[in-house]
Structure 1
Amino acid sequence: MKIVSRIINTAIVIAILLTLISAIGSAITKEPILLSVIRSNSMYPVWERGDMVIVENMKENKSIEIGDIVFFKSKEGSLATKGWIAHRVLAGNATEGYTTKGDANDYTDQELGGDGPIQREWITGRALTIGGKPIVIPKLGYLSLWMEKYQKNPYILPIFAVILAVIIGLGEIKSGQKRKKKNKGLELQLIYIAAGLTISVIMGSTMIASGQRLTIDYEVSDTSQGVLMGSVVGILMVGDEITRPLSELNNGGVFKLIGTITTNDEQIQVSHTKIPLAKGDQIETTFTVKAEKPGKYVSSIQVGLFYPFLPSSFIYFLAQKSYWLALAVVSLLPGLPLMLYPFIDGKMRRKMMSVLRKKKNKLISSLPF
């Protein structure tokens, strides 16, 4: 029974870790990474709503075959409003585009919405298969779907994480009282560290999901103005100044949030840099390009929302250095007490050092030299 219990626990931990890695990766890249949650029954019976599918990354040099189930996000037409779609390729090629269809649908995507073929650059992933059948994890995605209902409230996941950590801690303390003194493992210490890491990872993933990174393409010319395909700024003359909408920041939670906006371009100024957001606050932000130096520019603007575990000025200072530095520091803080507790508590620390010394000595004695 103990072996079965360990196998089940290990499987649960692996599933949770994969889900977290997938969620964080998808939040960073804004596309399906490793795993994707299925949100509709359009591919039934291959999979159905609530399942999770393993996704193979499809770089542009990889070929797509007829019959592949691909993940794509249309940039035009009625499909552009539907987000990421996973449908089967029925016809087409990389040059002219592809005709796609959900197995449970009566018509192709092109017939349903009157859209054109799916372009190769819109496709970022393909369902990983074994023996021609996609690898599907049934129902694992329902937790993500449930959490999505509450993503407008940035405190749901952190509160859930804290409650989970408290339950784990209380359960371990209770069981630890019954544990015999001869037990010399590191189970309790590892549980504290794992619980702290879990809180930090969940905090970080929710902040990543609420953040936004925008790429601004534009050109500064000495001689003329003009339109630049795909750019909201276009071609400016030296001395021109143009303002565009950036992002809407809102706090649908109960507690205060801290927003930061940073950019790597000295010619771009933003309307807000550090923004305290109280409950219900909603702020429209803009950016202004002041054309000073001729050239072509591909600049980035990073919008971040952080929990107020540090002063807003310090969070903004970190965000100016690197958004990821600020994210790591703010995410780490709520889980740090649990992670440090095994090192602070004298009894735990001595036990841990004793076990580590014994393992080191055992390893040294097993070496052939």
Structure 2
Amino acid sequence: MKLFTRILNALLAIAILCTLIAAVGSAITKKPVLLSVIRSNSMYPVWERGDMVIIKNLYEKDIIENGDIVFFETEEGNLADKGWIAHRVMDGNESAGFITKGDANDSTDQNVGTGLIDREWIAAKAFTIGETPIVIPKLGHLSLLVEKYQGNSFLLPAIALILAVLIGFGELKSSRIRQKKEIGIELQLIYIFGGLTIVVIMGATMLASGQKMNVIYEVSEQGQGVLMGSEVGILQIGDEVSQPLSELKNGGFFPLIGSTTTKDKQIVPSHKNIKLSQGQQLETTYTVTAQQPGAYESTIQVGLFYPFLPASFIYFLSEKSYWLALVVVSFIPGLPLIIYPMIDGKMRRGILKYIRKRKRKLRSALPF
């Protein structure tokens, strides 16, 4: 029974770890990574809504064949606003495009208003053993629930608070037992991994709400002009051009901190550092002031952060690096749980005893 419990716990830990990796990877790349949640029944009976599918991310050299179940995002047609779609390739090729169809659908996607699927729109395909995709039933329902309320900034802090309360309740419940028994390492790991789970949840949420914009422009001494692929174009020294940047929106109960940074001194955002109250919505812009001749390809990073630190300090970190600000703010709510095992005397002694025991076993196993 003890062995079964350990195996079950290990499998649960692996499932949680893979889910977190997939969530963070998807937030960073804006594409499905490692795992993908199924949002419809269009591929029934291969899988159903709420299932989690193991995927293989594709590169340019990878070949797509008829029968492959691919994950794509269209830029036109009636599927353009549906996010990532998982359908089977029925025909086509990389140069002309692919014909796709859900196994449960009567017609191909192209027969109901979607054009041929370009190769560059396809990010992954289902990982299979033989011809059978690897599906984890129902594991994605929690992700779908979170997505349903992702506009509510109150939800994920509430989840983090619930995790902390559950761990604290478990600690109180088992405190009497632990007074009579030797303290092992399991409870300490629960605290540490519980804290890290909160960190990942917070980081993934803020990362998903952030935006990164590339601004291409040129400053010339001769005059203005149009530049291919640029909204700003070619500016003459002294010119100023303003363009829309992003929409900042707080749909939850907690205030959010909006931070807009860029390394280009010729670009000035309309709102560098702002506190968004509940329900507040704000359209932001940026202004390019032509000062130094040259060709520029600059980045503007827009971030929305939970107010775990003062707004001025979050902006200070964002100016150094958006990723620095993201990591620091993400760690604030999870840090108490992570460091608690080292503060509590009994837990700290248990960790040190466990480390010493492992070192002795390692030394005895070495041939020298």
Report the TM-score range of the alignment, normalised by the length of the smaller protein.
over 0.9
**CA shift for structure 1 position 284:** 1.0
1:37 maps to 2:37 = yes
Distance in 2, Cα, partners of 1:166 & 1:346: 21
Take 2:70 and 2:236, find their aligned partners in 1: how far apart are those partners?
43
For 1:75-86, list aligned pairs within 5 A.
75-86=75-86
Q: Aligned-pair distance for 1:293? A: 4.2
Residues 290 and 77 (structure 1), Cα distance of their counterparts in 2 relative to 1, 3 Å cut? farther
The answer to whether the Cα contact below 8 Å between 2:209 and 2:303 also exists between their aligned partners in 1 is yes
* Cα drift, residue 162 of structure 1: 1.6
* Alignment-derived partner of residue 261 in structure 2: 262
Aligned to 1:92: 92
Name the stretch that deviates more: 249-258 or 214-223.
214-223
Residue 108 (str. 1) matches residue 122 (str. 2): no
Residue 215 of structure 1: SS of its match in structure 2?
strand
* Conserved? CA contact 1:218–1:228, under 8 Å: no
Structure 2: give runs of 5+ residues left out of the alignment: none
Structure 1: gaps of 5 or more residues: none
Q: CA deviation at 1:130?
A: 0.8
Post-superposition shift, 1:211? Answer: 1.4
Query: Partner of 1:358 in structure 2?
Result: 357
Distance (Å, rounded) in 1 between the aligned partners of 2:154 and 2:238: 45
Look up the SS of the partner of 1:78 in the other structure.
coil
> What is the CA distance between 1:220 and its match in structure 2?
4.1
CA drift at 1:323: 0.8
* Structure 2 match to 1:162: 161
Superposition map of 1:1-369 within 5 A: 1-113=1-113, 115-179=114-178, 181-221=180-220, 222-226=222-226, 228-229=228-229, 231-369=230-368
Take 2:108 and 2:217, find their aligned partners in 1: how far apart are those partners? 37
Alpha carbons 2:183, 2:346 under 8 Å: kept: no
1:365: how far off? 3.0
1:82 partner SS? coil
Contact between 1:74 and 1:80, CA under 8 Å: does it hold in 2? yes
Q: Is the 8 A contact 1:228 1:235 kept in 2?
A: no
Secondary structure in structure 2 of the residue aligned to 1:95:
coil
**1:201 CA displacement:** 1.5
Query: One-letter code of the match for 1:7?
Result: I
Kept in 2, the 8 Å contact 1:99–1:108? The answer is yes
- Do 2:246 and 2:284's aligned partners in 1 also have CA atoms closer than 8 Å? yes
1:57–1:126 Cα contact (<8 Å) kept: yes
Q: TM-score, normalised by structure 1?
A: 0.93
Q: 1:350: Cα distance to partner? A: 2.5
CA distance in 1, matches of 2:85, 2:75: 12
CA distance in structure 1 between the aligned counterparts of 2:71 and 2:276, rounded to whole angstroms: 36
In 1, Cα distance between the equivalents of 2:82 and 2:366?
59
C-alpha change, 1:297 and 1:102, in structure 2 (3 Å) is farther
The amino acid across from 1:32 in the alignment is: P
Evaluate the alpha carbon distance shift between residue 124 and residue 354 of structure 1 in structure 2; reply closer, same or farther with a 3 A threshold: same
Evaluate the alpha carbon distance shift between residue 358 and residue 5 of structure 1 in structure 2; reply closer, same or farther with a 3 A threshold: closer
Q: Is the partner of 2:302 in helix, strand or coil?
A: strand
CA contact (8 A) 2:250 2:279 kept: yes
Which deviates further from its counterpart, 300-309 or 181-190?
181-190
Q: Which amino acid counterpart does residue 117 of structure 2 have in structure 1?
A: I
Deviation at 1:346, TM superposition (A): 2.3
Question: How far does residue 358 in structure 1 lie from its aligned partner after superposition?
Answer: 2.6
- Percent identity between the two aligned chains: 64
* 2:366 alignment partner AA: L
Contact 1:184 1:355 in 2 (8 A): no
Aligned-partner residue type, residue 165 of structure 1:
A
The verdict on how the C-alpha distance between 1:14 and 1:290 changes in structure 2, with shifts beyond 3 A counting, is same
